[in-house]
Amino acid sequence: MNATEIFKNIGDTLEARKEASPSSSYVASLLHKGEDAILKKVAEEAAEVLMASKDKDRLHLVREVADLWFHSMVLLAHHGLRAEDVVMELKRREGISGIDEKASRTQG
């Protein structure tokens, strides 16, 4: 299974959890709590990524980045978006200088 299929499967599961009872699933309960709870979790996971990096523990870093990506996908789902939307944005930026891409955002 490639990364695209994994993102799609997770996205499909997150969509299904929007309709699930909050008592039946962690994701359903997080989505039910709303944006502030999701944002708090994303911030927590981001901090854990930083700490794992500082600890120089590669496996811990990979696991924490996976948690961050997952909770970022929950946030995207909350807004009706999917990882595929982010992938398309990265594709759009491919081959564009980071300096030029950032300048285009401040001008537009």
| Stated pTM of the model | 0.88
Query: pLDDT in tens for each of the 108 residues of the chain?
Result: 899 899 999 999 999 999 999 999 999 999 999 999 999 999 999 999 999 999 999 999 999 999 999 999 999 999 999 999 999 999 999 887 878 777 777 765
Q: Which of 11, 34, 30 is nearest to 22 (CA)?
A: 30
Q: Which of 90, 88, 86 is nearest to 76 (CA)?
A: 86
Rg value, the chain, Cα: 16
Domain count, the chain: 1
pLDDT of amino acid 96: 79
pLDDT of amino acid 107: 66
As a whole number of angstroms, the distance between CA 82 and CA 38 comes to 15
**Which CATH number fits the domain that encloses residue 48?**
1.10.287.1080
For residue 68, give the 3-state DSSP assignment. Answer: helix
pLDDT of amino acid 45: 98
Q: Which domain holds residue 44?
A: 3-107
